[in-house]
Structure 1
Amino acid sequence: MYKGYLIDLDGTIYRGSEPIPAGRRFVEQLQARQIPFLFLTNNTTKTPQTVADRLANEFSIYVSPETVYTATLATIDYMNDADKGKKVFVIGEPGLIDPILAAGYEWETEHPDYVVVGLDTDVTYEKFVTATLAIQRGATFIGTNPDKNIPTERGLLPGAGSVIALIEASTQQSAIYIGKPEAIIMEKGLGILGLDKSEVLMVGDNYTTDILAGINNGIDSLLVLSGFTQKEEIPDLPVQPTHLVDSLDEWRFDEK
């Protein structure tokens, strides 16, 4: 049996504003069996408390904020570990900016130690200019997550990865990526669970983020066909997930 689970949210537990009933039952099974789990999300626009409140209010899933680990928190942990200074410029929304400032970082536009770039629906050319010049002056360039698109009711909208790509082009530098499928957020998640990668299962609906996060980091993966990756894509995947289900209701918790 797996001793712990890392779980994606959108497309796995819910789909936009639409509940996925099997996702709620999956979480309830984990709680009933007292199996540790951590929601691992690349979303930097919402705090863990906001995510937990939404799960409760919209989807009747009752968890503590401590079970939610966002790319924002992983970014803060990465900067704390790097210990290169406390000055930062951020392109992002309050769910990214406010926790970084609350963690003791100071806003700086000319000579920051870090430039952090995430999804910003109000991004302006001047913000790109400030970030570009600061990185050219030597600031460490951090990208919160590589997601090029966000699936919405309107279609696939530009994601954080698209914003970051513009600054990579303007600086001719690659960002240090934090979120799935990168190692940084996965290693931090394992540390919170206090488990070895051989004891944990990564659960998600998106092959390019969730499942590759498992494959690239030596963690077993469970792909559920309730969201982003479609069944017809499975035969052409370069590396197959460890497990595949149409619905989380199919998962047996005694599997390994």
Structure 2
Amino acid sequence: MSRDEQQSPANWTYLMDMDGVLVHEEHLVPGADEFLAELQAAGTPFVVLTNNSIRTPRDLRARLVRSGLDIPEKSIWTSALATATFLDNQRPGGSAYVVGESGLTTALHEIGYVLTDNDPDYVVLGETRTYSFEAITTAIRLVERGARFIATNPDATGPSRDGSLPATGAVAALITRATGRDPYYVGKPNPLMMRSALRAIGAHSENTLMIGDRMDTDVVSGLEAGLQTILVLTGISTRQSVEMFPYRPTLVLNSVADLVGRTQNPFGGN
């Protein structure tokens, strides 16, 4: 099969990052609403991905609605949901000590996990707006006693109006330094994040593409999951920075607005 044939299946499924692709903080990326409206009008399956584990899909949907995007809960896949799916497959009905917020605790409750600090199977580290020294200390001691160490994603910092905030990856590094134990990261750039999202909607990698704004997370995880990839320049990576990486996206676009009118044939003419 030729490269052009591989890029032209009859029906595409879209995976896309949220921040930097559809929104910046609370602000809509211009054209993102038209892009999603075209997908919805055509009945094209899509899932919005985020490494953020703080919010539930319901909370994220409300945030997106305020930004001008009406996306159903079932079309939002978080690193918390991917982590819960992973744990449910690995050790059904297990227990965990969680450092995180409602997005993560709700996802674990929904798979029947017991949340406890009494000899848990796992320490699960997610993102929170205010990391507690006491909670981190408890996590360190539980990992030292043999709890398996899981983290929702390796992102070292997250954005805020006042600048960067320490995120999951930074706190995971602290726990690793204290215990000598590395976490297993479930979210991007682990391709497991994409695969679990595909399974959740019954899609297949052969006719799925990934849209992201970061070469080092979105594009590489899409490639490793066997997807076609589109880098948009509305977030972190620039056109110049693409040349720094040993891998390339299938396509580079200024923004998702460039896909309006061509969502059924995104690679046509390229």
TM-score by length of 2: 0.89
Which residues of structure 2 form unaligned runs of 5+?
Answer: 1-7
CA distance in 2, matches of 1:50, 1:120: 15
CA distance in 1, matches of 2:45, 2:93: 34
How far apart are 1:27 and its partner, in Å?
A: 0.8
Instruction: Kindly indicate whether residue 185 of structure 2 is the aligned counterpart of residue 174 of structure 1.
Output: no
What letter is aligned with 1:23? Answer: A
Deviations 1:210-229 (A, max 9, x none): 11111222211110000111
Q: 1:186 to 1:14 in 2, by over 3 A?
A: same
Contact 1:148 1:160 in 2 (8 A): yes
CA distance in 2, matches of 1:89, 1:164: 14
CA distance in 1, matches of 2:241, 2:143: 38
**1:255 equivalent in structure 2:** 266
How far apart are 1:157 and its partner, in Å?
A: 2.5
How far apart are 1:54 and its partner, in Å?
A: 1.7
CA distance in 2, matches of 1:99, 1:247: 31
Contact 2:21 2:29 in 1 (8 A): yes
Instruction: Kindly indicate whether residue 221 of structure 2 is the aligned counterpart of residue 210 of structure 1.
Output: no
From 17, 26, 32, the counterpart of 2:26: 17
Deviations 1:111-137 (A, max 9, x none): 101110011232222212211121122
From 47, 51, 63, the counterpart of 2:60: 51
Contact 1:3 1:200 in 2 (8 A): yes
Describe the SS at the equivalent of 1:152. Answer: coil
Describe the SS at the equivalent of 2:84. Answer: helix
Contact 1:11 1:226 in 2 (8 A): yes
Contact 1:45 1:96 in 2 (8 A): yes
Contact 2:120 2:147 in 1 (8 A): yes
How far apart are 1:199 and its partner, in Å?
A: 0.8
**1:81 equivalent in structure 2:** 89
From 114, 128, 138, the counterpart of 1:106: 114
Contact 2:80 2:104 in 1 (8 A): yes
**Alignment size in residue pairs:** 255
From 142, 145, 152, the counterpart of 2:150: 142
Overall identity of the aligned pairs, in %: 33
**1:133 equivalent in structure 2:** 141
Contact 2:21 2:255 in 1 (8 A): no
CA distance in 1, matches of 2:74, 2:130: 29
Deviations 1:141-181 (A, max 9, x none): 11101111213333332221111111122121111111111
Contact 1:24 1:59 in 2 (8 A): no
CA distance in 2, matches of 1:193, 1:84: 21
CA distance in 1, matches of 2:240, 2:162: 23
How far apart are 1:102 and its partner, in Å?
A: 4.2
What letter is aligned with 2:119? Answer: H
Deviations 1:3-48 (A, max 9, x none): 2011111110010122112211111111111110011111111110
**2:4 equivalent in structure 1:** none
Which range moves more in the overlay, 99-108 or 240-249? Answer: 99-108
Q: 1:154 to 1:229 in 2, by over 3 A?
A: farther
TM-score by length of 1: 0.93
CA distance in 2, matches of 1:143, 1:125: 17
Describe the SS at the equivalent of 1:88. Answer: strand
Contact 1:41 1:71 in 2 (8 A): yes
* Root-mean-square deviation (Å): 1.7
Contact 1:110 1:130 in 2 (8 A): no
